[in-house]
Amino acid sequence: MTTDILIVYGVLLVAIALFVSERLRLDVVAILALLALTISGILSPEEALAGFADPVVIMIAALFVVGDGLFQTGVAQAMGRLPAKLAGDSEIRLLVVIMLLVAVLSGFMSSTGTVAVMLPVVMGLAWGRNISPSKLLIPLSVASLLGGMLTLIGTAPNIVVSNHLEAMGRDPFGLFTFTPVGIAMVVIGIAFMAFFGRRFLPDRPSPGRPARTEDTPTVAEMVGSWELAPRLFLLRIEPGGSLAGQTLAQADLPGTLGLTVLEVREPPDEAEPRRVRRPFARGQKPEAGTGNGAPALAGTLLAPGQLLLVEGSADGVARLVGRGEATLLDDEIEGDPTGRETGIAEVLLTPRSRLLGRTLKEARFRDRYELNVAGIKRLGDALEGDIREVPLRFGDMLLVQGPWDKIRLLQGETRDFVVAMAPREMGQALQPLDRAPAAIAVMVGMMVLLTFGILPTVTSVLVAAVAMVLFGCVTVQDAYRSINWESVVLIAGILPVATALEKTGGMQLIVDALGSQMADAGPLLLLVVLFVLTSALSQVISNTATAVLLAPIAFQLALGIGAAPEPFMMTIAVAASTAFATPVASPVNTLVLGPGGYRFGDFFKVGVALQFLILLASIVIIPILFPF
C-alpha cells in the first residue's frame, strides 16, 4: 500500500467523521478534503477543481431553477392536489402516495429528474398541511432510488450490468427483467418508511419556508392596524365636472380636500348607475377590488366614468361629491387598497435615508417609485392632515400602496428605507400564474428528453432551466436565489475524492483484496459480500462508477465458483441503488439536503436500516428469480 493511498484513505475517513459529527457545514468539509488532496500533491489543481465543471453539479444547480419555476407558477401546487386528495388527512397515507408516485416515475426517467419535478410539489404539500418538509423529503429521495430498480432504464447501474453481460456473451437484461425485484424492493421501502423510518425523520423547519406564521399579517390585519377601512372610498368621476380632463397633479386632491388617490380604475361594463353608499364601519375590511386598476401617478389623466380609490376624510369626500365632481359608489363595489395587481407594505426610514427632512412631495415619492403613501406613523401614532407636506424623520413608518412588483423592488433598497412588513398575500400575488402552461410545457419537455435520452441528461435539465427563465416562469434574480449553494459546493468538492481513489489505486486495492478472499466462497456468501461492498462504495462515489468497477469483478468471481453471473450482476445493480445513508451518496440526496434542512446523521439513521432490509430481501428474492 503506497503513501498516496494511505493519504486518500485518511482524508476520506476524516471527512466521513466530520460529516457524522456535524461540527462543520458539509460543504466546508468537502472543500477541506479537496484542499488536503491538492496540497498533498495527489490531485493537481485542475483535477481538484474538475468537480465544479462536472455535469452532475451543473445539473443540480439547474434543477433548483426548474423546481422554483414550477413552484412560482403554481404548477407544483396543482400537481400536489392528486396526492393530497388520495391521502386525505393522514400524514402516513400522504407519505405512501408520494413514495408510490415517485417510484413509478423513477422507473421510466432518471431519479434526479423525478426528484426535480416532485420536490416543489412535496414542499407545497408539506407547507399546505403545516408538516415539516423534513418528514417527506428523505422518503422522496428513497422512493426515487428504489424506483430506479423497476426497469432497465430506471438508473445507469442497471444498464451497466446489462451491457457487461452482453459484452461477455450472455443474454442482456430486458426492459422489465428488473421489475419483479424492483416491485419487491419498492414495497419493502415504502412499508419501512411508513411504519418505522418516519420515526427517525427530524421535525425540522425548512430554510426555504415562505413566511406564513402569525408574525406575518394578512392584508386585512394590516388595513385594520392602520385603521384604513373607514377612510377608504370609491368614487366615480362625473362628466361635466372639473376633474375630467385634468391630471392628478392639476386636481391636487390631497392639497385641497385631504384625499389621496391610491388607484385609478377603468369603469365596469354596466349600464345601471351606482347608488351612493355608506362609509365603511370602523374596522370593517373592504372587499376585493376589480383588479384592473393603474398606479395613480402625477401625470395620470382623469376621464369621465373612471373610478378613483381614495383615502381620506369623509368630509373631503362629501365636499367633492357635493360639487358634482364625483359620485360615491355603493357597497357593491367596495374600495380595497389591494387586489391581484396591487398591494400594501410597511416601509421604515433608515438613519442614512436621503428622504429625511424632505416631504413626500419634494421627494416626488409617487412618481419615483410608482407607489402611493396611504399613511405615516411616527412613534406608533398615525399622522393627520396632508401627509405629503410632512417633513420625514428617521423611524417614520410609511404605509405604501401600489403594484406588487413595485413593492418587491423596494425590498432591494437598503439605504433610504427597508420594507419592514409585507402581507402574506404578496408571495401569491407575485406568482406568474399566467405562465403555468409554459412551465408545464417545460416540465413535460424535460421528462421526454430524459426518458428517451434525446439529449444528455445535463443538457436536458439545463435547457429546461433556461426555458423557465426565458418564458418568464421565474426571474433571473429568483433563479439565482433558488439554488441551494451549499448542496452545489458539497457535491463539487466531494467528487474529486473519487478521482483520488481511482488515481492512486485505492479503489483497485479494495477490489483485488475482495477477489482473493472470495475465491473459495459459496454463492450466497459472495452475493452478500458483493451487496455490502457495492452499497458501501455507493455512499462515497457515484453508483454508476461503482457498478462499472465491480461488475467485471462480480462476473469473474461468479465464473470462478461455477455459478451463473446473472444473480450477482442483479445484486450489483440493486445494491448500487441503495445510496440512502449519506447526503453525498446520490444527487437526489443532495437535492433534498438543503430544502429539508437535513444533517448528515439524518440520512445515516434511516439509510443504514433500510440498506439492511434490502440486503435481506435480496438474499431471499434474487436467488429465487435468478438461480445460481
Q: Are 401 and 372 in contact (CB under 8 A)?
A: yes
483 in a structural domain: yes
Say if residue 348 is in the same domain as residue 231.
Answer: no
Residue 418: CATH number of its domain: 3.30.70.1450
Say if residue 463 is in the same domain as residue 361.
Answer: no
435 in a structural domain: no
Give residue 348's region: left, alpha or beta (phi > 0; psi -120 to 50).
beta
Say if residue 246 is in the same domain as residue 191.
Answer: no
439 in a structural domain: no
Q: Considering only CA atoms, which of 187, 40, 240 is closest in space to residue 614?
A: 187
DSSP track, 551-610: HHHHHHHHHHTT--SHHHHHHHHHHHT---SSTTSSHHHHHHHHHHT--HHHHHHHHHHH
**Per-residue pLDDT reduced to its tens digit, 415-437:** 777 777 777 666 555 555 578 88
Provide the pLDDT for residue 213.
Answer: 44
333 in a structural domain: no
436 in a structural domain: no
Provide the pLDDT for residue 236.
Answer: 87
Say if residue 275 is in the same domain as residue 130.
Answer: no
Say if residue 355 is in the same domain as residue 322.
Answer: no
Q: Are 78 and 120 in contact (CB under 8 A)?
A: no
Say if residue 90 is in the same domain as residue 176.
Answer: yes
The residues pairing with 421 across neighbouring beta strands, listed in sequence order, are: 346
Say if residue 524 is in the same domain as residue 395.
Answer: no
434 in a structural domain: no
334 in a structural domain: no
Q: Are 580 and 610 in contact (CB under 8 A)?
A: yes
**Number of domains forming the structure of the chain:** 3
Say if residue 227 is in the same domain as residue 102.
Answer: no
**Per-residue pLDDT reduced to its tens digit, 340-356:** 556 778 888 877 788 88
Q: What are phi and psi of 247, to 5 degrees?
A: -85, 165
Which of 296, 328, 360 marks a domain boundary? 328
**Per-residue pLDDT reduced to its tens digit, 465-486:** 999 999 988 888 878 877 777 7
Domain containing 182 equals: 5-208+454-625
d(CA 117, CA 20) in angstroms, rounded, equals 29
Q: Considering only CA atoms, which of 163, 117, 190 is closest in space to residue 591?
A: 117
**Per-residue pLDDT reduced to its tens digit, 235-286:** 888 887 788 888 888 888 887 787 888 778 877 654 444 443 333 333 333 3
Which residues of the chain, if any, have pLDDT below 50?
A: 210-214, 270-292, 331-335
Say if residue 266 is in the same domain as residue 324.
Answer: yes
Which of 328, 361, 384 marks a domain boundary? 328
Provide the pLDDT for residue 273.
Answer: 44
- Helix, strand, coil % (nearest 5) of the chain? 55, 10, 35
Say if residue 461 is in the same domain as residue 554.
Answer: yes
Which of 396, 413, 429 marks a domain boundary? 429
Say if residue 510 is in the same domain as residue 618.
Answer: yes
Percent of the chain scoring above 70 in pLDDT: 82
Q: pTM of the entire structure? A: 0.55
Say if residue 159 is in the same domain as residue 239.
Answer: no
Q: Are 618 and 184 in contact (CB under 8 A)?
A: no
Q: Are 164 and 569 in contact (CB under 8 A)?
A: yes
145 in a structural domain: yes
The residues pairing with 343 across neighbouring beta strands, listed in sequence order, are: 402
d(CA 577, CA 13) in angstroms, rounded, equals 23
Would you state the torsion angle of the CA atoms of residues 103, 108, 113, 114, taken in this order, to the nearest 10 degrees? Answer: -20
**Per-residue pLDDT reduced to its tens digit, 35-78:** 999 999 999 998 888 878 877 678 778 877 887 787 777 776 66
